[in-house]
Amino acid sequence: LAPKRLSGRKVLITAGPTFEPIDPVRGITNLSSGKMGYAIARAAREAGAEVTLISGPTGLAAPHGVNRIKVVTAQQMHDAVMARVAGHQVFIGVAAVADWRVAEVSAQKIKKKDGHDVPQLKFEQNPDILAAVAALPSPPYCVGFAAESEELLRHGEEKRRRKRTPLLVGNIGPQTFGLDDNELILFDEQGQTHFPRADKQSLARSLIDEIARRLGG
């Protein structure tokens, strides 16, 4: 029988994209599929944790035994996380949260008017959910993700410190959005750990093992 390394632990995870409305039928989103976050939620559950998954819009089914809460916008994701985070030992921010939202959402569909100027959108900043959780007086063990970039290897450790998370997980390019596999590099105060390209579920299990080990599980 596989050891249940996270028994008795509560794990909160964000996953998927967020969707920021422009008007009742339009909005701005990104290509996150939610697969990595859902795989991590499944792996945490397999490891015996009580798992809450705060998910932006995805086509994925909730993993068995996981408490999934669906949200749409970054603000809703932030509010859902902050309302529930107390009592959790681990927070894993996997969601691709929109950095900006449309400042004035139109209550009606914006009409196309021939010969008129195209609409100009104004944006405002969304809250940084991971930063908000990491700044709590007694935060859970926080894990951040970083999208791939050529500079990742050089700047991963710097980003981990800036994000104030004990563990930062970098997605190594090329683009991982929507794919079933991924390649990860973990940055913590000990240094770097490389997880070679594999399917997201296997990587999720390895990541959960690493987190459990750091928690002393």
Q: Contact residues for ligand C5P (CB under 6 A)?
A: 14, 74, 93-95, 97, 126, 128-130, 144-147
Residue 117 counted as an annotated binding residue = no
For the beta carbon of residue 22, count every other beta carbon within 10 angstroms. 17
How would you write 56-69 as a 3-class SS string?
CCCCCCCCCCCEEE
Residue 159 counted as an annotated binding residue = yes
List the catalytic residue out of 30, 67, 171, 182: 30
Is the CB of 14 or the CB of 52 nearer to ligand C5P?
14
Residue 111 counted as an annotated binding residue = no
Is the CB of 11 or the CB of 97 nearer to ligand C5P?
97
CB of residue 81 to ligand C5P, shortest distance in Å = 8
Q: How far apart are CA 121 and CA 154, in angstroms?
A: 35
Least Cα distance to 127 among 198, 71, 197 occurs for: 71
Known catalytic residue at 171 = no
Annotated binding residues, written as ranges, equal: 99, 109, 127-130, 145, 159, 163
Annotated catalytic sites, by residue? 30
Annotated binding residues for CTP, written as ranges, equal: 99, 109, 127-130, 145, 159, 163
